[in-house]
A = this chain, B = another copy of it.
Amino acid sequence: MSQPPAPAPTPAPAPGDELPNVVDALRAVRARWRETHRRGGDGRDLPSRELLAAMVQSLSGALFPMRLGPPTLRPEDEDFYVGHTLGAAMVTLREQIAHELRHDARQRGDAEPAPGVAEALASRFLHMLPRVRELLDSDVLAAYQGDPAARSVDEVLLCYPGVRALISHRLAHELYRLGLPLIARVVAELAHADTGIDIHPGATIGAGCFIDHGTGVVIGETAVLGECVRIYQNVTLGAKSFPTDGDGHPLKGQPRHPVVEDEVVIYAGATVLGRITLGRGSVIGGNVWLTRSVPPGSVVTQADMQSHTG
């Protein structure tokens, strides 16, 4: 048995002292961290994972009221539900945006953001929702047509983790484009935790995307996917290596992930790395390891790769 031996029951310290001692020690560790990172610990201006999770669920319902909204919703009451749910979600979003803007300003040492900025950003987000729904409709259709096991578009919307991941991504991507990378990232990571699909909110994904099974999929920040791309579990669209600054720290924000053109299919376990281009209609086989561009219509299988490398 590798189990470490159970320690002998040592006499507990005086109960009145123990907890205060640990509280003191933890305060000391926090103080060291704050000093090192020049943080004042002056208030919490971070978005809330819980509130954003609730907001995404509300927005999902507002986007697909009769399928992801409340079970008792009647078709004739749809608009009231949509309007009310969006109104409440916007209250949350405005607050969360204000948190991020303040956090960001403090991070840079800037002045407090002007009042009204959070409101205006939330409003711009709101107006993107009809377009988001259109894109998601195309994704649902792509999944239905692409999976022989799918029996109806409703099953796809209700069950497929790839669709859930894209609902979150398309919302997160709009937030990212509005200059809210932190909120966007929280939304993306909520979907990652739920589905195992890790799409950075910066990634650009065209209409009709289908991610099947999805566990282990990673799509990087600067990846660009065209229309009707199909991706299976454990596919990585990652960075190969990244340029560093003088101190050896990675330079942030360079294009470093693949461009995937329209109608490309990438099978399970394939790893595609670097700012390369997969030409329109290409098929990348399972477990393939690919770090160079391929022209439109390519079919790349593991065997090919091995003959290339062997």
A298 at the interface (CB under 8 A from B): no
Q: How far, in angstroms, from A268 to B66 measured CA to CA in the complex? A: 40
Residues of chain A from 219 to 234 with CB closer than 8 A to chain B in the complex: 220-222, 233-234
- CB of B78 within 8 A of CB of A116, answer no
- CB of A22 within 8 A of CB of B126, answer yes
- CB of B81 within 8 A of CB of A84, answer yes
Q: Which of B44, B124, B310 contacts A307 (CB 8 A)?
A: B310
A44, A69, A147, A303: which has the most chain B beta carbons within 10 Å? A44
- CB of B80 within 8 A of CB of A7, answer no
Q: Mark A96-139, 1 if CB is under 8 A from B, else 0.
A: 00000101000100000010110111011011011001100100
Q: How far, in angstroms, from A49 to B218 measured CA to CA in the complex? A: 26
- CB of B221 within 8 A of CB of A2, answer yes
Closest approach, in angstroms, between the C-beta of A261 and any C-beta of chain B? 20
- CB of B286 within 8 A of CB of A287, answer no
Q: Which of B37, B85, B87, B252 contacts A151 (CB 8 A)?
A: B252
Q: How far, in angstroms, from A3 to B181 measured CA to CA in the complex? A: 7
A246 at the interface (CB under 8 A from B): no
A275 at the interface (CB under 8 A from B): no
Q: How far, in angstroms, from A146 to B114 measured CA to CA in the complex? A: 33
Chain A contact residue count (CB 8 A cutoff) = 149
- CB of A62 within 8 A of CB of B26, answer yes
- CB of A77 within 8 A of CB of B83, answer yes
Q: Which of B67, B82, B222 contacts A23 (CB 8 A)?
A: B82
A186 at the interface (CB under 8 A from B): yes
- CB of A233 within 8 A of CB of B43, answer no
Q: How far, in angstroms, from A295 to B130 measured CA to CA in the complex? A: 55
Q: Which of B44, B134, B148, B309 contacts A29 (CB 8 A)?
A: B134
Q: How far, in angstroms, from A126 to B4 measured CA to CA in the complex? A: 19
Return chain B residues, CB-CB under 8 Å to A43. 66, 74-75
A256 at the interface (CB under 8 A from B): yes
Known: A179-B6, A256-B148. A72 touches B46 (CB 8 A): no
- CB of B19 within 8 A of CB of A77, answer yes
- CB of B72 within 8 A of CB of A159, answer no
In addition to A23-B79, A30-B78, A80-B87, 16 A-B residue pairs with Cβ atoms within 8 Å of each other are A4-B176, A4-B179, A9-B116, A19-B90, A20-B83, A23-B80, A43-B74, A44-B69, A49-B158, A81-B87, A150-B252, A159-B186, A218-B268, A236-B286, A271-B286, A306-B310
25 A-B pairs with C-beta separation under 8 A? A1-B253, A2-B202, A2-B254, A5-B179, A9-B114, A13-B123, A15-B74, A19-B77, A25-B129, A29-B133, A30-B78, A37-B153, A41-B75, A72-B88, A77-B84, A80-B80, A148-B253, A149-B252, A151-B182, A158-B182, A196-B196, A196-B216, A213-B218, A236-B269, A286-B289
Closest 5 CB pairs of A and B: A2-B253, A80-B83, A77-B87, A84-B84, A6-B179
